[in-house]
Structure 1
């Protein structure tokens, strides 16, 4: 009788809910893992599996900025470091490639996604603004973005933007500031004073300038040397 009563009572005691199929539906899921290697600027290998950073996108392999974005992670993590992987409520556990979708935080408390955005290596993407689940850091991610998205959806990092708008390098045609050999020979900034050989490919343009284009006949005796 005592045994029957005990069994009956135990059946009335609520059991703790265990969701063996994935993270809890009502709280963030976090775990520690060992950092193994950088895949690219938004993906790393860990002991728990390949982790894709939530809410950001960096340049693909072969695109401008890819190497810099990858190096940014290597700058704060070394193989063997412990990282925190966090899956917020409402996020998909994995992407279509089977990668874990996670916030990744370094031992020093650095959020890798935010790091890439603030460094200009990434755009805030794959969140509620383009049809994916919202995540808690979404507003901060967008406000921290320095990179831009190209017309084709590519990521144009801050460094690549600067390279694109930089004026092309102009050859230093220093000799064109002198209107005669006489003025050239008076220079006190270290410019060569001649003579310049018309048959030397490295000096031919300089020769032509002083011999024909200044109007001062820099090769007066016609021997092929200007500013003797």
Structure 2
């Protein structure tokens, strides 16, 4: 199995199909922390990297959206769910504590989490707690109006079409959006330039 793209902070595309990572939940698109949670996965794995997908005993094979439910680790054993928990990007959720099948790491995830659920059951990452200013919603920055480099290249508004360099502070946020935030992996060759 190999990595193909980040969909969001708890969902990835692989050579075997779309995978929802078991036992975690991250912010939805447009919520504070969404971009950071998505980017965190994109920094761990690149297109073509091998992944280890496992289905713990008694787990459901797929969710209501048809996505495979799996624990996901890199070839060196780094657990993607635990990375998101440790970074404060995810809560431990959809496990035996809230009516879903148990998984082997749920107690560990719950003990380590610093993100929380708000009154509406939305994920509030560690960075978004305590009066932190909310992240701008989609559409606030011009580049967030484009869901892929291809769509950006067709823009008629005069927006720059790239490439965007992750090492240039004036372009880093744009790079992050197209490389990780859209789910379309705008830096497919991993050279630090998106939309080239």
How does the TM-score come out when normalised to structure 2?
A: 0.66
Quick check: 1:126 aligned with 2:129? no
Would you say how many aligned residue pairs link Structure 1 and Structure 2? 134
Give the gaps of 5 or more residues in structure 1. 1-32, 166-228
Match of 2:122 among 154, 162, 171: 154
Report 1:59-98 matches (<5 A): 59-98=27-66
**Distance in 2, Cα, partners of 1:35 & 1:104:** 10
Q: Measure, in 1, the Cα distance between the counterparts of 2:123 and 2:110.
A: 14
Distance 1:112 1:150 in 2: 23
Cα distance, 1:44 vs structure 2: 0.1
State the 1:163 CA deviation: 4.6
Which residue in 2 is equivalent to 1:15? Answer: none
Other structure's SS at 2:37 match: helix
- Per chain length, whose mean CA-contact separation is higher, i.e. which structure has more relative contact order (CA < 8 Å, sep 6+)? 2
SS class of match (1:70): helix
- Give the deviation of 1:108 after TM superposition: 2.3
Q: Does 1:108 align with 2:76?
A: yes
Q: Does 1:140 align with 2:140?
A: no
Residue 48 of structure 1 corresponds to 16
Superposed displacement of residue 123, structure 1: 0.3
In structure 2, distance between residues paired with 1:37 and 1:107 = 16
Matched, 1:57 2:19: no
Pair 1:34-2:16 in alignment = no
Please state how far the C-alpha of 1:162 moved relative to its aligned partner: 4.2
What secondary structure does 1:75 align onto? helix
Q: Distance in 2 between matches of 1:119 and 1:137?
A: 16
Following superposition, which runs of at least 4 residues in structure 1 exceed 2 angstroms of deviation? 162-165
Q: Structure 2: any 5+ residue segments left out of the alignment?
A: 134-196
Name the larger-Rg structure. 1
Distance 1:122 1:102 in 2: 16
Q: Deviations over 1:161-210 (max 9, x none)?
A: 14538xxxxxxxxxxxxxxxxxxxxxxxxxxxxxxxxxxxxxxxxxxxxx
Structure 1 residues 156 and 34, CA, compared in 2 at 3 Å: closer, same or farther? same
